[in-house]
Chain A
Amino acid sequence: MIEEKFDAIVVGAGMAGNAAALTLAQRGLKVLQLERGEYSGSKNVQGAILYADMLEKLIPDFREDAPLERHLVEQRFWMMDDRSHTGLHYRSDDFNEEKPNRYTIIRAQFDKWFSQKVREAGATVLCETTVTELAQDAYGKVIGVRTDRADGEIHADVVILAEGVNGLLGTRAGLRERPKPDKVALAVKEMHFLPRETIEARFNLRGDEGMVIEAAGTISRGMTGMGFIYANKECISLGIGCLVADFQRTGETPYGLLDRFKRHPSVAPLIEGSEVKEYAAHLIPEGGFKAIPQLYGEGWVVVGDAAQLNNAIHREGSNLAMTSGRIAAEAIFQVKSRKDPMTAENLSLYKKMLDESFVIKDLKKYKDMPALMHTQSQNFFLTYPELVSKAMQNFLRVDGTPKVEKEKTTFKSFIKARSWSGLFGDAFRLARAWR
């Protein structure tokens, strides 16, 4: 056993873990961070978009040396059927600002930089160490962790579980349930390398400008899911994810879905001639507000993906992870400053502070969206994209048909596919869940 006792042990060195470890170390606490990868980032997978505001709260001058790819000036939403996409694009020169709001990043590189900041702040970071279980006393209070290293029990006043979406330790210790197949999505992603100029020409970008495409429709074959294409400096992150329960139900393969997405006529020209250098897969929490587990207990708190904190509608996760890590650390610092013990009662401060932040407020706003999207996946991901595509084509194709008849055809196609009550019901349910 390692005799040294720490104020806090942070399990995991992703966005949430690094934010927590940094915040605690900055406030002078004795912190040990454990990471199973060879360095922070080597096990971490994300699209990835970085949200500047949440990082500024931790490292105000991060733009000086953080490995950033491109700042986003354009967002494209695509509704796809098998041969078309209907897009809603937003691009603004306002995003070319002194301190841009969102960036594309490459997680393995970014996390390595983030981890360096954690070390510089004074935390002890131990990599290549898998935490196998939580150490608990006779009353169930968490008093530390056990690792796969020899004599691997280490003690601390509080353990911050930033172990990622799988939340294995929490489940093993009976703190929370294993994620359910209908509450997590499986996403697969490839890194496509192309010359910088090619990427800029294909996506209409200048200098370090960046853009992202979020796509939904028949690409997910009736499952609840989305595709994405993010422009980095010299590569494109391209991926697609669907609910695990849907993969289980349909027998679709993740790599089959990915390859079909790549061959879509709207996508293929964007990645033509690229060299693929990595294939990754990752789970994404999709259950929203209703899937958030118990966030604290005797001697522990849980943050980030392990707490299922992900906003599926806005595709935001890393910012929720960073913020929850920071807030948990601030709460622990307050408890510590009062010289109070790390009991569940005292650590409930973390939940109280998180409830007041955008993290829980945003998830609460969309609390009914997951259920709606997951149960109506056929309509939202197959029927409507096809109807919209046909309507757009009907609108644009000039073939001598009077416009009045064209409109009638489009109108009838919607009624036929969903009926009056279906259409109103969908609109009503969507509006209510969005509210």
Chain B
Amino acid sequence: MSIEPSVRVEDKLFYNRYLVDAGRAHIKVRPHTTPSPELLSMLKACPARCYELNDKGQVEITVDGCIECGTCRVICEGSGDIEWSYPRGGYGVLFKFG
């Protein structure tokens, strides 16, 4: 059996360029006490691992590393768990290659 090395997404995001729009998160998680299954699935499904569980068991988002794919919108917007927009013009991820 081979052991799965853990993947550090932070290292991957470090390759990318971003212009962070401080104080203006383009995705917001609706305040909740217990997260819905949709919201919980984002802990794994988000390719930039922007979603994390806090010590109260609630799902939080930090959008700084977001690569604007829309996966969380497809999964969570319908249930009202999140509000999703694109960043303001010029902000967010700036792909050099795409």
Instruction: Assess the B90–A255 pair: CB atoms within 8 A.
Output: no
Within 8 Å by CB of A248, from B7, B75, B94, B97, lies B75
Cβ of B56 < 8 Å from any Cβ of A?
Answer: no
Quote the shortest CB–CB distance from B22 to chain A (angstroms): 16
Quote the shortest CB–CB distance from A126 to chain B (angstroms): 9
Inter-chain contacts of B84 with A (CB < 8 A): 168
Interface 0/1 of A129-167, CB less than 8 Å to B? 110100000000000000111000000000000000110
Quote the shortest CB–CB distance from B52 to chain A (angstroms): 13
Instruction: Assess the A130–B87 pair: CB atoms within 8 A.
Output: yes
With contacts A181-B75, A244-B74 taken as known, whether A277 is within 8 angstroms of B98 at the C-beta atoms is no
Inter-chain contacts of B44 with A (CB < 8 A): 247, 251-253
Inter-chain contacts of B74 with A (CB < 8 A): 178-181, 184, 244, 283
Quote the shortest CB–CB distance from B87 to chain A (angstroms): 7
With contacts A147-B89, A280-B67 taken as known, whether A178 is within 8 angstroms of B73 at the C-beta atoms is yes
Within 8 A of A (CB), among B35-52: 38, 41, 44-45, 47-49
Cβ of A195 < 8 Å from any Cβ of B?
Answer: no
With contacts A107-B97, A259-B7 taken as known, whether A186 is within 8 angstroms of B69 at the C-beta atoms is yes
| Residue in A37, A38, A258 with the greatest tally of chain B CB atoms within 10 Å | A37
Instruction: Assess the A188–B94 pair: CB atoms within 8 A.
Output: no
Within 8 A of A (CB), among B51-76: 67-71, 73-75
Quote the shortest CB–CB distance from B65 to chain A (angstroms): 10
Instruction: Assess the B85–A168 pair: CB atoms within 8 A.
Output: yes
Quote the shortest CB–CB distance from A194 to chain B (angstroms): 14
Inter-chain contacts of A235 with B (CB < 8 A): 97
Instruction: Assess the B95–A42 pair: CB atoms within 8 A.
Output: yes
Which secondary structure characterizes the binding site on chain B? Answer: loop
Instruction: Assess the B94–A277 pair: CB atoms within 8 A.
Output: no
Cβ of B23 < 8 Å from any Cβ of A?
Answer: no
Q: Which residue of B lies closest to A132 (CB)?
A: B85
Instruction: Assess the A130–B75 pair: CB atoms within 8 A.
Output: no
Chain A residues within 8 Å of B, Cβ to Cβ:
36-38, 41-46, 48, 106-109, 111, 127-130, 132, 147-149, 165-166, 168, 178-181, 184, 186, 188, 190-191, 235, 244, 247-248, 251-256, 258-260, 276-283
Chain B residues within 8 Å of A, Cβ to Cβ:
4-5, 7, 9, 12-13, 15-16, 19, 38, 41, 44-45, 47-49, 67-71, 73-75, 77-78, 84-90, 92-98
Of the A-B pairs whose beta carbons lie under 8 Å apart in the complex, a sample of 28, sorted by A's number, is: A36-B90, A37-B90, A42-B98, A43-B93, A44-B95, A106-B97, A107-B97, A108-B98, A109-B97, A147-B89, A148-B88, A178-B78, A181-B75, A186-B47, A244-B71, A247-B41, A248-B75, A251-B41, A253-B45, A258-B7, A259-B7, A278-B16, A278-B96, A280-B67, A280-B97, A281-B47, A281-B48, A283-B74
